[in-house]
Structure 1
């Protein structure tokens, strides 16, 4: 996702972004294209409003102080510029506190979290912003997982074209999110009704959203996980065991890792590949 951020002389602050749909004909199916743009617009507005107000918006209105507007298109696959406009002085002040770098980092972080993708370690500033959101960080991720991300994937799902959202800083364009056939398939995955017991080492764990990645004993790749309960309702003792396991295993040889005995519901693709575990609890010996 490429953002170009600059201030306009008029009342609103414009945060400029673009979307690139990888199609060599410089054209895209109109219905799928509009749905994808709508999903990206909703994701951008929802994340931005949460970051700037500290609350997850439930409804989006044309009268909102945070809104998106389409700009000119461009060639190079199918490109569409758009801007995120902030018309409220308090929101503009809050944006300046966050800054371009942290804002674009967090925009990509929440989109990836909503798709259960592996995310890089956040900068200290961004980590503090997520921590300040508290329960709203998890609420934001859950809201993005609804129709918002499904809309954003209409082009990859129906036509197989990759979609990139980019941020521009000066002359540099940085991809902050990418939607493709793989991420589209993840949205179609189904949760099993059968609870399983797994031995797993925690490899990543976000203590604000409750999401992370684990590695099954004997496995070579990490798999996403989250909790069945709203994260604030998860027992403190359980949260602590996940954090302690991550801390212990970091930086040591895998032969010496400790493993947690976890009870979870797998989320599977149509070919039975597991892409996520929904944690129900820890197995009590």
Structure 2
């Protein structure tokens, strides 16, 4: 059983710089494999190889914006059974959720089944997000950073129905490349959202119309309890 996906680079010429395009495809593959292995084995693999139990297979391209179909394939009987029990639609939900968390984006509300899987992963999620923010998601944004092309990741639910589960652009790349500033700034804001598994959230500044992403400089498990209680009540 495979999960069929595609990645589209929104370029009007239907072509793309080869190095940047390959990096984006590689980053997409690594992100999907990392999420797949973590969900199925409940362990985070920092090294992905061609002998892994969870792998991706590049398939044909298609007309329109530059794009390729590919699949997430499971090469282990026990992991296959777990994948089958989760189901393709729920698995696509989980991919979307973990990528959104890694990019400090607001994610869609999960189905009860997907939420249960997230809850069971517990502290593993923090390590998964940290791993995704390393090379996988940075590589995904290569064409966005260098050529300002948007990238879409879609779940191919059927031959005629494709569902966008993640969107990458230059703005998201800038979030990944943010650096700590030692200057202290006092703000007045309310917490619009906080994920207690990752410490990621969004806050609304006073007199602002849109929320902005925030996170902690350390793992959420290392944040002291006084601060946790403050943020969860705000």
- Using the alignment, how far apart are the partners of 2:225 and 2:63 within structure 1? 52
Query: Which residue in 1 is equivalent to 2:220?
Result: 231
User: Number of aligned pairs?
Assistant: 233
Separation (CA, whole Å) in 2 of partners of 1:188 and 1:51: 26
Equivalent pair of 2:198/2:219 in contact (CA under 8 Å): no
Q: Which of 237, 243, 248 matches 2:232? A: 243
Equivalent-residue separation in structure 2 for 1:80 and 1:21 (angstroms): 9
Match of 1:70 in 2: 58
Structure 1 unaligned blocks of 5 or more: 1-12, 246-285
- Name the structure 2 match of 1:33: 21
Task: Say what the alpha-carbon RMSD is for the aligned residues.
Answer: 1.5
Alignment partner, residue 200 of structure 1 = 189
Structure 2 counterpart of 1:16: 4
**Which of 1 and 2 has greater Rg?**
1
- Residue of structure 2 in register with 1:96 after alignment: 84
- Which consecutive segments of 4 or more residues in structure 1 shift more than 6 A? none
Deviations 1:129-177 (A, max 9, x none): 1121111101111111111111111111111211111002123211111
Task: Give 1:26 deviation, angstroms.
Answer: 1.9
Say whether 1:177 aligns with 2:166: yes
**Aligned with 2:199 (options 210, 221, 238):** 210
Unaligned ranges ≥5, structure 2: none
TM-score by length of 1: 0.77
Superposed CA deviations along residues 19-50 of structure 1, whole A, max 9, x for unmatched, are 11112222111111100000000000001111
Deviations 1:221-255 (A, max 9, x none): 2111112221112233432332233xxxxxxxxxx
Tell me which residue corresponds to 1:79.
67
Greater RCO, 1 or 2 (C-alpha within 8 Å, sep 6+): 2
Q: Of residues 19, 34, 59 in structure 1, which corresponds to 2:47?
A: 59
